[in-house]
Amino acid sequence: MTELLSIEPIRMLVFLVGTILFVALNAAYLTLLERKESSWFQRRLGPTEVGPWGLLQPIADGIKLAGKQVIVPDGVDKILFVLSPIMVSVPVIMNLATIPFSDTLVARNIDLGLLMILSFTSFNVMGIMFGGWASRNKYSVISAARVVAQNVAYEIPMFLIAISLVMVTHTFDLRETVLLQTGGFWNWNLFKLGVSPLMPAACLLFFVCLLAETNRSPFDMMEAESELIAGAITEYSGMGFGLFFISEYANIVVGSCLVTILFLGGWNCPFGLYPGLHWFFVKMYGIIFVVIWIRWSFPRIQFYGLLNLSWKILIPLSLAHLLLTCVMVKIW
Amino acid sequence: MSVDATTIQGETFVVNMGPQHPATHGVLRIKLTMDGEYIMNAEPVIGYSHRMQEKMAENRTYSQYFANIGRIDYVGAMIYNFGYACAVERLAGIPVPERAEYIRVITSELNRIASHLLWFGPFIIDLGGLTPLLYAFDDREGILNLLESVSGARLTFSYFRFGGVCNDIDDDFVAGCRAFISRMRERLTLYRRLVTDNIIFRKRVEGIGVIPPEICRKYGATGPVLRGSGVAYDVRKDEPYSIYPLLDFDIPVFGECDSMARYRVRMEEMNQSLRMIEQALDKLPSGPFMAEKVPRILKPPKGDCYFNVEGARGSFGIRIVSDGTEIPYRLKLRTPCFANLSLFEEASRGMLLADSLALLGSLDLCIPDVDR
Amino acid sequence: MDFVQVLRDEFMGRFGERLRIEDVDHAKRGCHLDITASGVDIEEAASVMDGLGFTLEAISGIDWPAEEAMELVYDFNKMAEGGRIAIRVRVSRERPEIASISKIYGGANWYEREAHEMFGIVFSGHPNLTPLVLPEDATFHPLRKDFSA
């Protein structure tokens, strides 16, 4: 088996299929997790009909979506309309190629892995903007404008925190970053207070930026249901809508992976005993659980409040963190 | 939808909100003329659920109309029953026994709490918080179970009759009410900690949707809208009816005039209603629940009269003109949501779209109440 | 301050014989003063009420075909200080016309539109006398007694 895998094309094929399966299954079962989790918070049951405990619900939803008629409204910009879901979902799947799930399980370990992920995340914005504009629907245009403003505003603190982390780890390579955090949880970047006393705050900032970049509540301007119906993706039906959905959950997965790798020590065990893939998944799904938890607990922030939070609070804080890290790294 | 390029500054475009829209709580259409995110003009277009209730009154006897009156504001139907029954009793001079008055007040105040809980859920949903709705509905189930046990209905009650109520309340009901009161008090504390003190929620409603008291006066706004703007007007204190003079309660009034003030008025009103129910249960006399010798076909003497009660949304008034027959000559329904909505156009000028939704939600509209 | 008394004096002083003021028992009729004011300029009466701080609560129309007239009842209320006044005005049935008070009371805008579409009463000076709850192209007036669907 391993000899087969060492043949490069076969290895790539296996990882390609594996990645796409991973994304698809995650997107499908994260919808179920969201529905179940929201029902726990809301004192009700959630999906229970299809399969035991509703486990086959996403399959049923997927079949339904695949069977829907893809309606392309009259007068839309056809190229952009079709390009938009592709542009939103493909870069996210490509991101997963560089994420190290464990010491040996990584599709292609690029030494600029972090940079690649951060730059591909920016594609998300363009895709939604094209979708909103091409839909020829006033609500979609308003929503697309909001999304652009929000995502641009929140990319900046995210990148600043990433830069300050790179200053600590001296590498963009994600696998290296995790390897530097081996040992118990005191080695994790989150707790490396000796390098930067604001590290836990930086993790929180990064997490908030993650919520904003993936358009999750309380930053869900794009899909503010009670105001703009479904926002930029109102006019999409069938598989186009399915692609947007997949990309949203894939974004959440990629973001959680990033937080896990950068701050929580990747696949390392908290007590240094049995590192491996399972720890990575525990941490990643833990963060996803918190992301969903936040969505169902808080109201939505006002649009100008959201922008205020980013430009007036998060950016100065992340700049301060960057400066502090510089100083600490130089002195110690 | 075409883009309308009009004069003034920049380009304004016309957007339709509704009649099918998650945030308008009913079939309400608002024609918004917007400049970017700001509203230049918001014109409510109503009439989508108009059922000509006033003409129906001219084709039914007084007793038959009880079925209609619960459907006008279906969320606070018991209180509207109260208004109609008292209006006809005033015109025809029918006395109501004491026990019936107490039962009427207890069930009306329970209905008021249910109505405020139904407002609370969707209001927070409009602001993006999807969970408090389910908690509020859990409490509402308690009330609806109680009211179903006496009246047979969960939403559109026709429980009152001229001269009393149609069914007596028993000890189970009284015990259930007391259990509900103690549970509801804890739940109100929970809502305060989870929602009222939540900073995101506060940022969404504090200072948003300011309605100065002068606008309230010009447009005839009543109820929590008026009390949230600092005017201490409550029909139960101003023109008291039934046994309200015997009960000890306060009227919550907040002077900030914003959506938060109206929210706090309603939350505090739930508290006061619990107080009233408790006192009424303590003082509940025994006796008949229905006046004797009320004619089956009621023919009030010629003349007209007006009666208003404090509905969950504001002051609900009925003007009855009788010509001596068993069918009303004219029945005018003065509904609170009609007046409350009419001030939306003036109050929302220059606001952001999301803020105007906070304002609309805090007005607590029931669209069939606007349209009748 | 007893607004009912102040109002009565103000009205008697200003309009004198042109109106008929009736003190009514609130417990029997639902208002404190019932003023029949057919010969009076409704705009002037409304501005008196506005000056004293009253709220317009309702405008009800009543059709009296037997008396060849339509009646409009304006319900005013002084919130929180007590004082419910009903002002009745009669207009002719063939050409029902009266001045609009929507410039004085913003709330009268919708009430007058409703009275217009239900009875056909024309309020001169109203900025937008189109149907409010009926369809925009409705030409019938349902609450008239001679209306049949």
CA distance B311 to chain C (A): 14
What is the set of domains in chain B, with CATH numbers? Answer: 13-371 (1.10.645.10)
Choose among A167, A171, A162, A183: nearest CA to A265: A183
CA distance C91 to chain B (A): 17
User: Which pLDDT score is estimated for A228?
Assistant: 52
Kindly give the pairing relationship between strand C69-77 and strand C84-92: antiparallel
| Cα–Cα dist A173/A116, whole Å | 10
User: Which pLDDT score is estimated for C95?
Assistant: 86
Say what the alpha-carbon torsion angle B181, B183, B184, B189 is, to the nearest 10 degrees: 130
What share of chain B in percent tops pLDDT 70?
97
Angle at B61 between CA B55 and CA B63, to 5 degrees: 115
Q: How confident is the model at residue B80 (pLDDT cuts 50, 70, 90)?
A: very high
| Cα–Cα dist A289/A287, whole Å | 5
Fold of C3-94: Beta Polymerase; domain 2 (3.30.460)
For chains A and B, having 3+ Cβ pairs within 8 Å is answered yes
Q: What is the pLDDT of residues B227-280, one digit of tens each?
A: 999 899 998 988 888 899 999 999 999 988 899 999 999 999 999 999 999 999
Helix (H) or strand (E) holding B69: helix B66-69
| Cα–Cα dist B323/C88, whole Å | 18
Average pLDDT over residues C102-117: 90
**For chain B, how far is it from start to end, CA to CA, in angstroms?**
30
ipTM of the prediction: 0.89
Q: How confident is the model at residue A230 (pLDDT cuts 50, 70, 90)?
A: low
- Contact between chains at B204 and A301 (C-beta distance less than 8 A): yes
Q: How many CA atoms lie within 13 A of B282 on its CB side?
A: 9
B13 touches B3 (CB < 8 A): yes
**Close Cβ partners of B239 (under 8 Å, ≥ 6 residues apart):** B308, C26, C82, C84
- Residue B87 or B37, more confident: B87
What share of chain A in percent tops pLDDT 70?
94
| Cα–Cα dist A75/A66, whole Å | 24
In chain C, domain spans: 3-94
Q: How confident is the model at residue C1 (pLDDT cuts 50, 70, 90)?
A: low
Tell the burial category of A80 from Cβ atoms under 10 Å away from its Cβ (0-12, 13-18, 19+).
Answer: middle
Query: Which stretches of chain A are DSSP H helices?
Result: 2-6, 8-41, 57-66, 78-95, 113-121, 123-134, 138-169, 174-179, 199-213, 225-228, 239-263, 277-297, 303-308, 315-331
Q: What is the pLDDT of residues A248-295, one digit of tens each?
A: 888 899 999 988 888 888 788 877 677 778 888 888 999 999 998 888
Size of interface B-C (CB pairs under 8 A): 99
pLDDT at B338 over 90: yes
Choose among A64, A85, A68, A31: nearest CA to A238: A68
pLDDT at A112 over 70: yes
User: Which pLDDT score is estimated for B1?
Assistant: 29
User: Which pLDDT score is estimated for A99?
Assistant: 86
Strand partners, C86: C34, C75
Choose among A250, A252, A263, A106: nearest CA to A175: A106
For chains A and C, having 3+ Cβ pairs within 8 Å is answered no
Amino acid (one-letter) located at A281: F
Q: How confident is the model at residue B174 (pLDDT cuts 50, 70, 90)?
A: very high
**Close Cβ partners of C17 (under 8 Å, ≥ 6 residues apart):** none
pLDDT at B41 over 80: yes
Average pLDDT over residues B63-76: 90
pLDDT at C46 over 60: yes
B106 touches B277 (CB < 8 A): yes
Q: What is the pLDDT of residues A139-184, one digit of tens each?
A: 778 778 888 888 889 999 999 998 888 888 888 888 888 888 777 6
Burial A220-239 (b: 16+ CB within 10 A, else e): bbbbbbbbbbbbbbbbbbeb
A254 touches A99 (CB < 8 A): yes
Chain A neighbours, 3+ Cβ pairs < 8 A: B
Q: Which two tokens stand for residue B227?
A: 């009390």
- Helix, strand, coil share of chain B (percent; to 5): 50, 15, 40
Cα B116 → chain centroid: 8
Choose among B332, B271, B323, B276: nearest CA to B300: B323
Task: State the best of B72, B89, B219, B349 to mutate against chain C, taking most chain C CBs within 10 Å.
Answer: B219
Average pLDDT over residues B75-94: 91
- One DSSP character per residue, B302-362 reads SEEEEEEEE-SSSEEEEEEEE-SSSS-SEEEEE-HHHHHHHTHHHHTTT-BHHHHHHHHHH
Choose among A208, A225, A250: nearest CA to A300: A225
Quote the radius of gyration of chain B (alpha carbons, Å): 21
What number of other Cβ atoms are within 10 A of residue B155's Cβ? 15
pLDDT at A97 over 90: no
Q: How confident is the model at residue B24 (pLDDT cuts 50, 70, 90)?
A: low
φ, ψ for residue B306, nearest 5 deg: -125, 140
B318 touches B334 (CB < 8 A): yes
| Cα–Cα dist C84/C56, whole Å | 10
Q: How many CA atoms lie within 13 A of B54 on its CB side?
A: 29
Residues in chain A closer than 8 A to B260 (CB atoms): none
Q: Which residue has the tokens 């007694």?
A: C145
| Cα–Cα dist B71/B155, whole Å | 9
User: Which pLDDT score is estimated for A19?
Assistant: 85
Average pLDDT over residues A188-204: 78
A207 touches A294 (CB < 8 A): no
Average pLDDT over residues B181-189: 93
User: Which pLDDT score is estimated for B143?
Assistant: 92
Q: Which two tokens stand for residue B81?
A: 């029953």
| Cα–Cα dist A114/A124, whole Å | 16
User: Which pLDDT score is estimated for C7?
Assistant: 79
Choose among C134, C123, C139, A227: nearest CA to B46: C134
Q: Is C28 on the interface with B (CB under 8 A)?
A: yes
Task: State the best of B214, B217, B253, B338 to mutate against chain C, taking most chain C CBs within 10 Å.
Answer: B217
Q: What three-state secondary structure class fits B85?
A: helix
Choose among B191, B339, B208: nearest CA to B270: B191
- Helix, strand, coil share of chain C (percent; to 5): 30, 30, 40
| Cα–Cα dist B320/C36, whole Å | 17
- Residue C149 or B139, more confident: B139
Q: How many CA atoms lie within 13 A of C133 on its CB side?
A: 24
In chain A, domain spans: 70-331
- Contact between chains at A138 and B3 (C-beta distance less than 8 A): yes
Average pLDDT over residues B294-309: 88
Sheet (strand B38-45) strand order: B13-17, B29-35, B38-45
| Cα–Cα dist A100/A120, whole Å | 17
Q: Which two tokens stand for residue B98?
A: 């004491």
- One DSSP character per residue, B156-221 reads S---EETTEESS---HHHHHHHHHHHHHHHHHHHHHIIIIIT-HHHHHHHTT-S---HHHHHHHT-
φ, ψ for residue A244, nearest 5 deg: -60, -40
Sign of CA dihedral B120, B121, B125, B131: positive
CA distances from A10 to A7, A61, A97, A106 (A): 6, 32, 15, 14
Q: What three-state secondary structure class fits B152?
A: coil
Chain B residues with CB-CB distance to A under 8 A?
1, 3, 13, 15, 21-23, 37, 124-131, 133-135, 138, 198, 200-201, 203-204, 352-355, 357
Average pLDDT over residues B336-364: 88
| Cα–Cα dist B3/A283, whole Å | 49
Comparing CB atoms, the residue among C58, C62, C80 nearest residue B334 is C58
Q: What three-state secondary structure class fits C21?
A: strand
CA distance B37 to chain A (A): 8
Q: Which two tokens stand for residue B318?
A: 């009925």
Residues in chain A closer than 8 A to B37 (CB atoms): 142, 303
Say what the alpha-carbon torsion angle B302, B305, B311, B316 is, to the nearest 10 degrees: 100
Sign of CA dihedral B293, B296, B299, B304: positive
- Whole-number average pLDDT of chain B: 88
pLDDT at B344 over 60: yes
Residues in chain B closer than 8 A to C35 (CB atoms): none
Q: What three-state secondary structure class fits C62?
A: strand
Comparing CB atoms, the residue among B90, B219, B346 nearest residue C30 is B90
A228 touches A132 (CB < 8 A): no
pLDDT at B341 over 70: yes
B200 touches A301 (CB < 8 A): yes
